[in-house]
Amino acid sequence: MIRLAPIAASLTLAMLTPATAQSAAHFVATPIEAPTRASFVTQNTLWKCAGNVCVAPKAPTKDKVMCERAVQRLGALSAFTVAGTPFDAQALAACNARAK
């Protein structure tokens, strides 16, 4: 049974789709242009990208700051969500003002 554990773990990781990654993430950034990297780090937070969506786990950083850090790496965003709640148009515009 122990020999099967690595196989089961790899199958579980292979089943991680953008939709399931979004549901497991605290922060979800949707850049206007598709990301060129599969992952990146802002401060101490690892972001993982699949398709046109990047996700990150909960971090002890303010939501506004997390958005600004994502924008600095990804460029302008079409959406930014925190724990399932999207930024409103005004908050997203303020965040996008920090785009590279």
Quickly list DSSP for the chain.
-GGGHHHHHHHHHHT--HHHHHHH-SEEEEESS--SSSEEEETTEEEEEETTEEEE---SS-HHHHHHHHHHHH-SEEEEEETTEEPPHHHHHHHHTT--
- How confident is the model over 42-91, as pLDDT tens digits? 988 999 999 999 999 999 999 999 999 999 999 999 999 999 999 999 99
Residue range 5-14: average pLDDT?
36
Measured between alpha carbons, how far is 55 from 39 in angstroms, rounded to an integer?
9
Average pLDDT over the chain, rounded to whole? 82
At residue 3 the predicted structure's pLDDT band, cuts being 50, 70 and 90, is low
